[in-house]
Amino acid sequence: MIIAQRKPLAEILEMIAPYKKVLVLGCGTCVTVCFAGGEKEAKMLASELRMARQMAGAPLEADDYTIQRQCEWEYIDPIAEMCKGYEAVISLACGIGVQGMSERFAEAVILPGVNSAFDGMPVAPGIFAERCQLCGDCILDETAGVCPVSRCAKSLMNGPCGGSQRGKCEVNQEIDCAWHQIYDRMLARGQLDKLTQVRPAKDWRTSRDGGQRKIVREDLRL
């Protein structure tokens, strides 16, 4: 899922400075799970904004509402009329949701309320770790389910660098070396021979850095 963090209150207040009536729009999926932009966070932010503006002598009407997802038209379209009633909408969705809202409601002012960080998962209460960079060329079958692109500080494709020590990354000793994890898993499976295969460098032109990517499923098209 996409992991995000709410923007600082001061930054959001600066964005909405010209407006007197805003809607804080939460998203019920990824940002809800990582406690950045769900229903609870939308209510909290709306309250903080009202209080801050009141104290600044510039009262603000700030309402909140949450939809299931801001990245699909079927959830966005029903709130079209609602959004027209506000000068600006603060989207607590990831960057995809903000762009989706902006694309659907071209005349509306849609503002980002969170910073999208990475694709990851909750590994412990309050701890979210990156797991995927959406490179478009998955090799997890070759690396025992550990992604070297996202979990190795140098995104090395053929084993660890010379700086890793005792299973830890030289960049940060609190980070496990991805290739050490790959080795341990391969050893446990009796598949160390797979590590002798040389993996070519990824062609980023056709995957991650080749411009806007799109997948077309002809079997699903109307």
* Domain-located, residue 26: yes
Q: Please check whether residues 180 and 113 belong to one and the same domain.
A: no
Residue with structure tokens 């209080």? 51
pLDDT, position 197? 87
- Whether the CB-CB separation of 113 and 91 falls below 8 Å is answered with yes
**Position 145 confidence tier, pLDDT thresholds 50, 70, 90:** very high
Q: Please check whether residues 13 and 105 belong to one and the same domain.
A: yes
Average pLDDT in the 9-26 region?
Answer: 98
Q: Please check whether residues 114 and 7 belong to one and the same domain.
A: yes
Q: Please check whether residues 109 and 195 belong to one and the same domain.
A: no
pLDDT, position 202? 75
* Domain-located, residue 128: no
Average pLDDT in the 184-208 region?
Answer: 83
Q: What is the 3-state secondary structure (H, E, C) of 9-52?
A: HHHHHHHCCCCCEEEEEEECCHHHHCCCCCHHHHHHHHHHHHHH
Instruction: Look at residues 118, 146, 179 and tell me which one is the last residue of a structural domain.
Output: 118
pLDDT, position 212? 62
pLDDT, position 24? 98
Q: Please check whether residues 10 and 56 belong to one and the same domain.
A: yes
* Domain-located, residue 126: no
Q: Which token pair is 6?
A: 């709410």
Q: Please check whether residues 80 and 180 belong to one and the same domain.
A: no
**Position 2 confidence tier, pLDDT thresholds 50, 70, 90:** very high
Average pLDDT in the 141-156 region?
Answer: 92
Q: Please check whether residues 106 and 194 belong to one and the same domain.
A: no
C-alpha to C-alpha distance for 58 and 38, rounded to whole angstroms? 27
Q: Please check whether residues 105 and 147 belong to one and the same domain.
A: no
Number of domains in the chain: 2
Q: Please check whether residues 184 and 90 belong to one and the same domain.
A: no
Q: Please check whether residues 170 and 112 belong to one and the same domain.
A: no
Task: List the domain range (segments joined by +) for residue 89.
Answer: 2-118
* Domain-located, residue 50: yes
* Domain-located, residue 46: yes
* Domain-located, residue 213: no
pLDDT, position 204? 65
Q: Which token pair is 10?
A: 């001061």
pLDDT, position 49? 98
* Domain-located, residue 43: yes
CATH number for the domain spanning 70: value is 3.40.50.2300
* Domain-located, residue 8: yes
Q: Please check whether residues 148 and 180 belong to one and the same domain.
A: yes
- Whether the CB-CB separation of 63 and 24 falls below 8 Å is answered with yes
Q: Please check whether residues 143 and 81 belong to one and the same domain.
A: no
